Amino acid sequence: MNTVNQTVRTESFSYRLRKFIGIAIPQIILFIYMVIALFPILMIVGNSFKSKKYIFGQPFMPPTPATFDLVGYQTVLQRSHFDIYFMNSLIVTITSLVLTLVIGAMAAFALSEYEFKGNTALALYLSLGIMIPIRLGTVGILKLMVSLNLVNTLTGLILVYIAQSLPMTIFILSSFMRQVPKELKDAARIDGASEYRVFGMVLPLVRPAIGAIGIFTMIPIWNDLWFPLILAPSQATATVTLGVQQFLGQFVSDWNAVLSSLTLAMLPIIVIYLIFSRQMIRSITAGALK
């Protein structure tokens, strides 16, 4: 009897140990990944509140009353046109995102709802747009913008970002829209709803996809340096990421201003994440499952 009880206790302990390890290992891995991801951000934010001497002397230490200094933020706000850069980034990002979602949703509805000649070929063509980086066509895009007189304009940047984001938007949304029950749409048509009304009815049903697309579209546009540097390098059209470059020189760099600019540039993304973090997680999870 004692042997049986001892065996049961051993198996019970072994089961609890395996269960603990199964829970602990993923948590440890996620914690390590969190530290790796947050470390550069915390370094940038912390050092932006130090004087230049302590940025290089004590880079890993948090700001203290002895090392605290706002000279970087004063430089950014007084010597640069950060407000112009910030507004340019805001205008380009929001406009590109809204137009991408509107155009992409309408195209995805047409591809998923109507069968027409070339439907499959068009879907394949759009899929190729995801596989081929748009930056490979930079020279052609620059020539096109020059011929259209759209160099050093926010319109040119917006058009490029829409073209960059549409393939993935249409691909994801069309997959989600195909999952909406056809009987629901047919019932609306029988009740006299127009195609625009049916389209408006479908949109709330694919909200997770729209949220996921919004995340994957907004962040790359806000953080992009390539196209603003090539298509809109003037002071009037520069974005936040391009504005930071003015503090970096070949021989001398104002690291206080660079770190302060990067901290201010991160604020909108951080605020949006804090407000919509749960919706973002649901959107990404739903997108992954689809």
- Long-range Cβ contacts of 19-28 (<8 Å, 24+ apart): none
Average pLDDT over residues 170-182: 85
The number of residues making up the chain comes to 290
pLDDT of residue 125: 77
pLDDT of residue 225: 87
Nearest Cα residue to 173 out of 124, 211, 123, 209: 209
Distance (Å, whole) CA 164 – CA 129: 8
Q: Is the pLDDT of residue 2 over 60?
A: no
Average pLDDT over residues 182-211: 84
Would the pTM of this model clear 0.75, i.e. be above it?
A: yes
pLDDT of residue 168: 86
Beta-bridge partner residues of 50: 68
Distance (Å, whole) CA 264 – CA 44: 11
Q: Is the pLDDT of residue 8 over 60?
A: no
Beta-bridge partner residues of 68: 50
pLDDT of residue 117: 77
What is the tens place of the pLDDT at every residue in 219-236? 889 988 899 989 988 888
In the chain, where the domains are located: 2-47, 74-289
Buried b (16+ CB within 10 A) or exposed e, 189-198: eeeeeeeeeb
Average pLDDT over residues 1-6: 57
pLDDT of residue 210: 84
Average pLDDT over residues 262-268: 86
Residue 145 CB-half CA count within 13 A: 22
Distant-in-sequence, close-in-space partners of 134: CB < 8 Å, separation ≥ 6? 141, 160, 163, 164
Average pLDDT over residues 124-153: 85
Distance (Å, whole) CA 92 – CA 156: 10
What is the tens place of the pLDDT at every residue in 65-120? 888 888 888 888 887 788 888 899 999 999 999 999 999 999 888 888 877 777 77
Q: Is the pLDDT of residue 29 over 70?
A: yes
Q: Return the axis-axis angle of helices 119-131 and 154-177, rounded to nearest 10°.
A: 120
CB 20, CB 28: distance < 8 Å:
no
Q: Is the pLDDT of residue 157 over 80?
A: yes
CB 278, CB 211: distance < 8 Å:
no
Superfamily name with CATH number, domain 74-289? MetI-like (1.10.3720.10)
CB 109, CB 177: distance < 8 Å:
yes
Please give the share of the chain, as a percent, with pLDDT higher than 90.
Answer: 17
CB 242, CB 225: distance < 8 Å:
yes
Token code pair at residue 158: 């917006």
pLDDT of residue 9: 62
